[in-house]
DNA sequence: AGTGCGATTAACCATTCGGTCAAAACAAAT
DNA sequence: ATTTGTTTTGACCGAATGGTTAATCGCACT
């Protein structure tokens, strides 16, 4: 019952964070089921018992890591969509900011998708985190925001109609998939890390046009 | 050393197949690392020792299942691309055939991506399976085929230029991602299995237009 | 100096898991 | 019916793994 909440002492900076960071790295490279508590402890430079001291079980540690990671996935996207009003402007911004973010954390999509496929229960947790963030920045539902911005352009006759569902899935697919399928693409296209980086750089520049052109009347 | 190759007897239909099928299902729902040999044995209705009799180790069993699954992923797509010549016709056919195939095996993309993220070595195996199949049907490299079909339309002035790389990744993203991210999408869009099926049905009908419009001059 | 208390560790435990083995079951051939 | 070679099984083993515990450490306060 000794939940470490009132951190009066702390021999080192912040152990809990170091553990979370280490767990994040190990979960990503081994998968949640393949990760070993000992490996996480080593990576954090800490005794294995400490992991249980802070997080009780492997399952809870996994939940904590997933939560932290998932909440960062769509945060920026939501912000940008809520910030702008014209798709001609928000789509390129979202795409570029998003691909920059994913370039910095290229393994996150694969991790999230794997985790969600093997533990669909976590999807609930995922969507709640998204809702919390949405309320925090005082925005409306993502689907509604996009729906309105689509409607605006459709009414103006500058865009073909499309449901917000398909719109968002198309956008997400084109941005996220290349990272989730990174090892496969690198092998099929015969490129290395540097080549992949170049591929993404070019994609960043051309994808917004591709997307917006697709919806011209 | 008793490799069961000359199958003279076989008490039951084909045990090896039943084991592979069972392993396929268990690997998909638990992930390779999370799967237990005992569970696979139970699912196949067979003693655990038999798994080792036929496949020696869990790792080899995993490789066999991955191989079998991966080889089916792009086979049809390659066939259709090699069969047609005009993108106006091949793209819709590929997309629709592909989404039909994925609808029948919706968990395959998630499995392949997870597996490939945690074992990038398998990418090699993956691309070799693809090459084998390509040679078998006597087709050229997928990239080259697509490159030529793009070039044809670009020269005719009916299409904006795009590299074959980006073309294929766009196509694959739009088709595969919704399945790989199925649990996430269901949660975000607030739909159930039936709703997802409807979503895909609609997508099947609208995606080819979206894609081809994106490349209009 | 001493005490209280959270943070940290080494040693340990019970279970699970992949893998092995020798015996049993079985079909085909003689 | 006996033999022969393959397939299938129950029982077993050692290592790895998640988790626990009792002792130690070190800071803060007196």
CA distance B110 to chain A (A): 7
Average pLDDT over residues A81-104: 96
* Closest residue in chain A to residue B189, using alpha carbons only: A165
Note the pLDDT of residue A8. 44
CA distance B109 to chain A (A): 10
Q: Which of A8-22, A98-112, B2-16, B96-110 has the lowest mean pLDDT?
A: B2-16
Q: Which long-range contacts (CB under 8 A, 24 or more apart) does B47-51 make?
A: B50/B15, B50/B19, B51/B19, B51/B23
Q: How far apart are CA A76 and CA A83, in angstroms?
A: 10
3-state SS of B95-132 is: HHHHHHHHHHCCCHHHHHHHHHHHCCCHHHHHHHHHHH
**Tens of pLDDT along B65-98?**
999 999 999 999 999 999 998 999 999 999 999 9
Looking at the partner chain, which of B32, B172, B216 has a beta carbon nearest the beta carbon of A213? B216
Q: Which of A5-14, A128-137, A161-170, A195-204 has the lowest mean pLDDT?
A: A5-14
- CB–CB contact A127 B185 (8 Å): no
Residue A122: HSE in the Cβ half-sphere, 13 Å Cα cutoff: 24
Q: How many residues does this entry show for chain A?
A: 217
Note the pLDDT of residue B203. 98
**Tens of pLDDT along B188-214?**
999 999 999 999 999 999 999 999 999
Q: With contact defined as beta carbons under 8 Å apart, do A70 and A112 qualify?
A: yes
* Closest residue in chain B to residue A201, using alpha carbons only: B166
pLDDT band at A11 (very low <50, low <70, confident <90, very high): low
ipTM, two decimals, is: 0.92
- Tell me the CATH number of domain A74-214, given options 2.30.31.70, 2.40.40.20, 1.10.357.10, 3.10.400.10: 1.10.357.10
Q: How far apart are CA B106 and CA B92, in angstroms?
A: 20
Residues from chain B that touch A110, judged by Cβ atoms under 8 A, are 113-114, 117
- CB–CB contact B173 A173 (8 Å): yes
Q: How far apart are CA B214 and CA A94, in angstroms?
A: 18
CA distance A6 to chain B (A): 35
Note the pLDDT of residue A10. 54
Q: How far apart are CA A184 and CA B123, in angstroms?
A: 6
Tell me which residue has tokens 């729902």. B29
Note the pLDDT of residue B37. 98
Q: With contact defined as beta carbons under 8 Å apart, do A43 and A25 qualify?
A: yes
Question: What secondary structure letter does DSSP report for B12?
Answer: S
* Closest residue in chain A to residue B202, using alpha carbons only: A166
Distances from the Cα of B206 to the Cαs of B20, B95, B140, B151, in angstroms? 36, 10, 29, 25
Q: Where are the domains of chain A?
A: 15-67, 74-214
User: What CATH number was assigned to the domain covering residues B15-67?
Assistant: 1.10.10.60
The answer to pTM > 0.90 is yes
Q: Which long-range contacts (CB under 8 A, 24 or more apart) does A131-139 make?
A: A132/A71, A133/A71, A133/A74, A133/A75, A133/A78, A134/A78, A137/A78, A137/A79, A137/A82, A139/A78, A139/A79, A139/A82
**Tens of pLDDT along A13-24?**
699 999 999 999
Q: With contact defined as beta carbons under 8 Å apart, do A91 and A140 qualify?
A: no
- CB–CB contact A180 B180 (8 Å): yes
Note the pLDDT of residue A163. 98
Of B11, B217, B208, residue with least CA distance to B92: B208
- CB–CB contact A117 B110 (8 Å): yes
Average pLDDT over residues B122-146: 91
- Reply yes or no on whether the pLDDT at A4 is more than 60: no
- Reply yes or no on whether the pLDDT at A69 is more than 70: yes
Give A178's contacts (C-beta < 8 A, 6+ positions apart). A185, A199, A200, A203, B169, B173
Q: Say whether A74-214 and A15-67 share the same fold.
A: no
**Tens of pLDDT along A171-214?**
999 999 999 999 999 999 999 999 999 999 999 999 999 999 99
Residues from chain A that touch B186, judged by Cβ atoms under 8 A, are 123
Looking at the partner chain, which of B178, B183, B189 has a beta carbon nearest the beta carbon of A120? B183
Mean of per-residue pLDDT scores for chain B: 93
Looking at the partner chain, which of B34, B210, B214 has a beta carbon nearest the beta carbon of A118? B34
Share of chain A above pLDDT 90, in %: 88
**Tens of pLDDT along A106-120?**
999 999 999 999 999
- Reply yes or no on whether the pLDDT at A160 is more than 90: yes
Share of chain B above pLDDT 90, in %: 89
């Amino acid at each position: 019952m000794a939940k470490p909440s009132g951190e009066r002492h702390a021999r080192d900076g912040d152990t809990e964070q170091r553990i979370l960071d280490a767990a994040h790295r190990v979960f990503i490279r081994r998968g949640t089921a393949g990760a070993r508590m000992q490996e996480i402890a080593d990576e954090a430079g800490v005794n294995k018992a400490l992991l249980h001291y802070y997080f009780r079980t492997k399952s809870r540690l996994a939940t904590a890591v997933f939560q932290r990671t998932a909440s960062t996935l769509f945060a920026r996207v939501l912000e940008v969509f809520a910030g702008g009003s014209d798709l001609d402007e928000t789509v390129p911004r979202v795409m570029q900011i998003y691909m920059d973010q994913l370039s910095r954390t290229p393994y996150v999509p694969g991790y999230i998708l794997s985790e969600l496929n093997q533990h669909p229960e976590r999807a609930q947790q995922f969507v709640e985190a998204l809702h919390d963030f949405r309320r925090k920045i005082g925005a409306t539902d993502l689907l509604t925001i996009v729906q309105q911005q689509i409607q605006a352009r459709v009414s103006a006759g500058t865009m073909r109609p499309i449901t917000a569902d398909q719109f968002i899935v198309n956008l997400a697919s084109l941005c996220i998939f290349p990272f989730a399928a990174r090892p496969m693409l690198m092998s099929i296209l015969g490129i290395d890390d540097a080549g992949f980086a170049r591929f993404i750089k070019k994609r960043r520049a051309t994808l917004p046009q591709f997307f917006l052109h697709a919806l011209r009347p």
